[in-house]
Homo-oligomer: A and B are copies of this chain.
Amino acid sequence: MAKEFNWFVRVYYEDTDAGGIVFYANYLKFFERARTEWLRAAGISQQIMTTQHQVMFVVKGTAVEYHAPARLDDELKLTVVVERLGRASVQFVQEAWCGDRLLATGTIKVGCVGTASVRPSAIPAEVLAKLSE
């Protein structure tokens, strides 16, 4: 999974605001859709993590820079790259593109926590193996 992963989303009315552009908070949703599909493509099911390992990924920090706006009907390409992989955390760098325009860059810190304790918990070995492939 070291190489880049791309996920495409379309901009609908639900994503836009009265400024006529995609509401900035929604890039966090787009980035998460891409990470989720990236996990799925890597054979990692968040539901299996929950039911079999009693752990789940939670977002600990997000930082997004907005470079250019997206508009209704635009098709956006979202990228996913693992920047840092810890024992109980993963840091992703993600970008949103419309054609050759870079719209937004995000750094998303995700932690692995116990579903009951909500305390940091080691990423299950099989998941870690897939993440570091």
Contacts and interface: CB of A to CB of B under 8 A. Distances in A.
B63 A24 contact: no
Interface in A17-73: 17-21, 23-26, 28-29, 32-33, 36-37, 45-47, 56, 58-66, 69, 71-73
What does DSSP make chain A's interface, helix, strand, loop or mixed? mixed
B63 A59 contact: no
Nearest to A66: B60
Q: How large is the interface on A (under 10, 10 to 19, 20 to 34, 35 or more residues)?
A: 35 or more
B62 A24 contact: yes
Pairs A-B, 4 closest by C-beta atoms = A16-B18, A25-B28, A63-B63, A24-B59
A13 interface: yes
A122 interface: no
Nearest to A106: B62
Given A18-B16, A25-B25, A62 B61 contact: no
A14 interface: yes
A90 to B, nearest CB: 15
A40 B65 CA distance: 26
A61 B66 contact: yes
Nearest to A65: B61
A96 to B, nearest CB: 14
